[in-house]
Structure 1
Amino acid sequence: MTPRWPDPDRAIIGRHVASLDLRGMKSRACYRQVLHGFQEVAERYDALGQEVLLAWLRESSVRRAPSTLLHRTRIVDRFLEHLLEIGAVQRNPVVALRDECNIKQCMPIWRALASRGPGQALAELRQPRPFGSMLGEMMAEHVAMMRRRGYKYTSQPLLLLRFDRFLQLHRGPEGEPLSAMIDRWAATNVTRHHTEECEKLKRVFAKILRHRDPSVPVRRPDPRPRKEAAKQWRKPHIYSPADVRRMLEVARTYPSPRVPLRPLSMYTMLILAYCAGLRRGELARLDLGDVDLQDGTITIRQTKFFETRILPLPDSVVVELRGYIDARRRAGGSQDTRSGLFWHERGDGHYTPEMITWLLADVIRRAGLKPLRGQTGPRVHDLRHSMVVDRILEWYRTDINPQDRLPFLATYLGHRDINSTLVYITVTQEPLYYANERFRAVGAPCLSQGQEVRP
């Protein structure tokens, strides 16, 4: 029999609180108090709707501070989700309001309801419906078609949705051509980044129109907006060998009494990020079975551009990986080949890319290379830049022409071509010195011969 809520004996609340992973008696008592109060209000109404939420917020605001009240709304949110899952209610009023406003979070809904003018606050929250403009259907069809073809297609839909939102909020004259719409959008923001976005939008629409009508001529891209925007890009920081040694030392001694394996995990992450040039997402997705200690390789599966690659590692890196895997086993880490290489006890055993970034950025700060606050200074991704620069320096020192090896470096890094790899080649004084010396040995004699032959 399907349960109904509100139930007179309030057994649903008791079972819900018992099913939660609440550690202390105080927490369970708090949950029960909030939910009993919410049910008392709901019992006075015929249906669970917006009126119940407003009445509960009004009564609770008399006894609790606004910040505490908003915190208690999370308890009600979880309870409403539970009621919907077991079929005790037909609809979740908070989710219904969230869908009406076309937003993803519930907390803005609660803030609007708790304000002095809930109706006006909810009206201000309402966002345009995705792909609801006059061009929305065409854009949605294109996104669906590209994803059916196997493309991830994640950044382009976000750009199209921003343009779609603009068209809904700023309607133009009837029969306005597409070029005029884009020009109106370009006029709303004159920054270099927005100019580059407009150029991307023109390329996407050129592709859309050509898919719909192959007779449409191919549009020639304009590289100037991207070059102008690139002037504002943050320049990478190239870590010196001394910097890397300092970071490794800090990682090994990182204070982590509750998670003893974490310092060695961070140490190994830094080694792979610097020696193999791995991205943070690649570090997060590494499984135990991806490491082959016998062959000295590591497999990077289905990362950017849907590529899988097998990377040979230096012997010193293999030794460090072997030591980490032994320590991981002693710490109780899962020996399933599908478990995360960088293992921890909570969740699915994998570190998230965001957590890896936070931990390694903290190491960079503790090493004195990054300010204590803010997003300025060297980044974790700069380890990948440093790996490329150091590799080229090593080729110069061993009298190898870097240009001949760039395709191999692009494959190692997981790039589609060397154009992406060239972005990572930062010209510092040392590579410039070796390049000048190489030109002095090879190119300068050729110029001298040409001058001698000239009459």
Structure 2
Amino acid sequence: MTHFPSIDAASVEQFLQAQRFRHPATHKNYANLLCNFNSFLMNRGAITSPDVSIVQQWLKEHSLKWQAHILYHRTLLIERYVQWLHDQGLIASNPFAELHREYGPRTTPIVRALVSDDIYAALQKQRRLPRFRSFLGLLMDEHVTHMRVLGYRYRTEEQRLLRFDRFLQYHPELAGLTLAELVEHWSQEEPSPYHLFEARRTGRIVSKAMHRIDPRVPVLPIGDGVARAARQQQRAPYLYTDDEIQRILQTALLYPSPKAPWRPVTLFTMLVLAYCAGLRGGEIARLVLGDVDLREQTIEIRETKFFKKRRLPLAPGVMAALKHYLVMREQAGSPTKPESPLFWSPQRNCGYTVGGIRLVLTDVLRRANIKPARGSVGPRIHDLRHTMVGHRMRDWYKSGINPQSKLPYLATYLGHKDIRSTLVYLNITPELLQEASERFRKNGATALQVREGAL
């Protein structure tokens, strides 16, 4: 029988010392959590041999006391602690490693499955399957490789094909059906207009790959009205008012962050760039210090959605906000190398991710009472980009400028591949309609007066 050293408060302290937290309060709070976890294991006789069932019991018990986001965050700490115990030889096995081998690298979906009502079904949805191993997998894999050789990134299409491949792996009994029948079976798994559109669009991609090999294979149509029904199901863009923009910015500056006093300025600057420069969340996350040119008052946007690199001039007010943020950033001890992420979290000692930006800025919207406290409803951060376009059109009308002549410049500024992509952002609002009607009235009145004079 193998004997393991005892796990006690000293083990917890040793683990926390290796984490190098910046704030003493964090160390204390985490110490209490980990000591309680040790007590939980000890009470169940699993202090040196925790398994998946023990982890599941701990999650179930604490899911009744904590909100979901708190449970996910603290589980990540428990996972790191368990990994450390295993590396130190203090426990026989790491149950989190077993879960990741079975259900993928992400912890949060696994936790969500373990605390769900139907654990088995939820875990099956997370089960890892080999890439492109269905009876159509080789064809789809070769098609992705072919498209990338042609110069396409093909990331979104690859994810669609992988979802289709996953469905086919779960249903090998469908191997004898035609592609059209396979697509219809997949679309029925989740009866919604959007999933039907995704299934038909994926089927069209696969049929094109087959058609390229054998021209006799027909290319599947998506179908009349399918795309329109999917678009109608999606949330319409929300255009913020000027008062709401001011409220959002003020809420960001007042964001409660006693342990990180620089964070409100960070959030404020992110929102300013999202609204005033129309940046996407991914573009904000990918900015580095070297992209900011204070002398030229520009920022460089790289690795964009349409392979377009662009340099954007910024308004004086935006540059003032950016300069103030850079001063706070340096005072916080963030790295100053040109390749360092522009938006840096000294607390976590790394840059912000796209998901992290979306999460914290969405919290700003909730605190500003613009977005409901719960649920994926209401205005989104990406709607600031739509609002930027709408407000720019409105201001051009008010200034007497013909917006149609400016649309190519706006498309370039936004990083769109052509003007058609920009037109998607044009939403008719009562205010914009009023300005357009007023402009038409003035021009029409002039033309009418000339005509009456000629008569």
Please confirm whether the aligned pair reaches a TM-score higher than 0.5, indicating the same fold. Answer: yes
Higher-Rg structure is 1
- Tell me how far 1:421 sits from its aligned partner: 1.1
Summarize the Cα distance change of 1:184–1:279 in structure 2 as closer, same or farther, 3 Å threshold: same
Q: Which amino acid aligns with 1:156?
A: E
Spell out the pairing of 1:334-345 with structure 2 (5 A cutoff): 334-345=335-346
Tell me how far apart the structure 1 counterparts of residues 6 and 403 of structure 2 sit (CA, whole Å): 74
- Tell me how far 1:299 sits from its aligned partner: 0.9
5+ long unaligned stretches in structure 1: 42-51, 451-455
Match of 1:271 in 2: 272
Match of 1:453 in 2: none
Match of 1:299 in 2: 300
Match of 1:49 in 2: none
Q: Which amino acid aligns with 2:264?
A: P
Tell me how far apart the structure 1 counterparts of residues 197 and 92 of structure 2 sit (CA, whole Å): 47
Matching of residue 256 in structure 1 with residue 257 in structure 2: yes
Match of 2:374 in 1: 373
CA contact (8 A) 1:261 1:331 kept: yes
Match of 2:199 in 1: 198
Summarize the Cα distance change of 1:38–1:207 in structure 2 as closer, same or farther, 3 Å threshold: same
Matching of residue 137 in structure 1 with residue 135 in structure 2: no
Summarize the Cα distance change of 1:199–1:28 in structure 2 as closer, same or farther, 3 Å threshold: closer
Match of 1:237 in 2: 238
Summarize the Cα distance change of 1:331–1:219 in structure 2 as closer, same or farther, 3 Å threshold: same
Q: Which amino acid aligns with 2:380?
A: R
Instruction: Give the secondary structure class of the aligned counterpart of 1:376.
Output: coil
- Tell me how far 1:181 sits from its aligned partner: 1.6
Match of 2:322 in 1: 321
Summarize the Cα distance change of 1:359–1:156 in structure 2 as closer, same or farther, 3 Å threshold: same
Paired residue for 1:67, among 61, 68, 91?
Answer: 61
Q: Which amino acid aligns with 1:165?
A: R
- Tell me how far 1:200 sits from its aligned partner: 0.9
Tell me how far apart the structure 2 counterparts of residues 441 and 113 of structure 1 sit (CA, whole Å): 65
- Tell me how far 1:426 sits from its aligned partner: 0.9
Summarize the Cα distance change of 1:343–1:211 in structure 2 as closer, same or farther, 3 Å threshold: same
Match of 1:385 in 2: 386
Match of 1:312 in 2: 313
- Tell me how far 1:29 sits from its aligned partner: 6.5
Give deviations 1:199-253, integer Å, cap 9, x for gaps. 2112211331234346766666656311111112212222222222222222222
Q: Which moved more, 1:264-273 or 1:359-368?
A: 359-368
Q: Which amino acid aligns with 1:433?
A: Q
Instruction: Give the secondary structure class of the aligned counterpart of 2:358.
Output: helix
Match of 2:23 in 1: none
Q: Which amino acid aligns with 2:282?
A: G
Match of 1:45 in 2: none
Q: Which amino acid aligns with 1:364?
A: L
Match of 1:417 in 2: 418
Tell me how far apart the structure 2 counterparts of residues 27 and 19 of structure 1 sit (CA, whole Å): 13
CA contact (8 A) 1:31 1:75 kept: no
Spell out the pairing of 1:32-431 with structure 2 (5 A cutoff): 53=51, 67=61, 95=97, 99=101, 101=102, 103-104=104-105, 129-147=130-148, 149-172=150-173, 175-213=176-214, 222=223, 224-431=225-432
CA contact (8 A) 2:48 2:92 kept: no
Tell me how far apart the structure 2 counterparts of residues 239 and 79 of structure 1 sit (CA, whole Å): 44
Q: Which amino acid aligns with 2:436?
A: A
Aligned residues: 429
Summarize the Cα distance change of 1:447–1:137 in structure 2 as closer, same or farther, 3 Å threshold: farther
Tell me how far apart the structure 2 counterparts of residues 399 and 113 of structure 1 sit (CA, whole Å): 60
Tell me how far apart the structure 1 counterparts of residues 320 and 75 of structure 2 sit (CA, whole Å): 51
Q: Which moved more, 1:205-214 or 1:85-94?
A: 85-94
Summarize the Cα distance change of 1:289–1:431 in structure 2 as closer, same or farther, 3 Å threshold: same
Instruction: Give the secondary structure class of the aligned counterpart of 1:299.
Output: strand
Give deviations 1:99-156, integer Å, cap 9, x for gaps. 4x45446799899999xxx999998986665433211222223234434555433332
Tell me how far apart the structure 2 counterparts of residues 113 and 378 of structure 1 sit (CA, whole Å): 31
Tell me how far apart the structure 2 counterparts of residues 322 and 127 of structure 1 sit (CA, whole Å): 46
CA contact (8 A) 2:286 2:341 kept: yes
Instruction: Give the secondary structure class of the aligned counterpart of 1:231.
Output: helix
Q: Which moved more, 1:312-321 or 1:21-30?
A: 21-30
Tell me how far apart the structure 1 counterparts of residues 387 and 142 of structure 2 sit (CA, whole Å): 42
Summarize the Cα distance change of 1:121–1:295 in structure 2 as closer, same or farther, 3 Å threshold: closer
Tell me how far apart the structure 1 counterparts of residues 400 and 122 of structure 2 sit (CA, whole Å): 68
Summarize the Cα distance change of 1:29–1:97 in structure 2 as closer, same or farther, 3 Å threshold: closer
Q: Which moved more, 1:368-377 or 1:240-249?
A: 368-377
Q: Which moved more, 1:244-253 or 1:213-222?
A: 213-222
Q: TM-score, normalised by structure 2?
A: 0.75
Q: TM-score, normalised by structure 1?
A: 0.75
Give deviations 1:4-43, integer Å, cap 9, x for gaps. x9577789xx9998455364676787788899976866xx
Summarize the Cα distance change of 1:314–1:141 in structure 2 as closer, same or farther, 3 Å threshold: same
- Tell me how far 1:350 sits from its aligned partner: 1.7
Summarize the Cα distance change of 1:381–1:445 in structure 2 as closer, same or farther, 3 Å threshold: same
Tell me how far apart the structure 1 counterparts of residues 235 and 111 of structure 2 sit (CA, whole Å): 38
Tell me how far apart the structure 1 counterparts of residues 159 and 395 of structure 2 sit (CA, whole Å): 41
Tell me how far apart the structure 2 counterparts of residues 67 and 349 of structure 1 sit (CA, whole Å): 32
Q: Which amino acid aligns with 2:61?
A: S
Summarize the Cα distance change of 1:262–1:28 in structure 2 as closer, same or farther, 3 Å threshold: closer
CA contact (8 A) 1:34 1:75 kept: no
CA contact (8 A) 1:113 1:122 kept: yes
Instruction: Give the secondary structure class of the aligned counterpart of 1:306.
Output: coil
Tell me how far apart the structure 2 counterparts of residues 408 and 307 of structure 1 sit (CA, whole Å): 14
**Amino-acid identity (%):** 40
5+ long unaligned stretches in structure 2: 20-26, 64-70
Q: Which amino acid aligns with 1:166?
A: F
- Tell me how far 1:418 sits from its aligned partner: 1.6
Q: Which amino acid aligns with 1:67?
A: E
Summarize the Cα distance change of 1:84–1:388 in structure 2 as closer, same or farther, 3 Å threshold: same
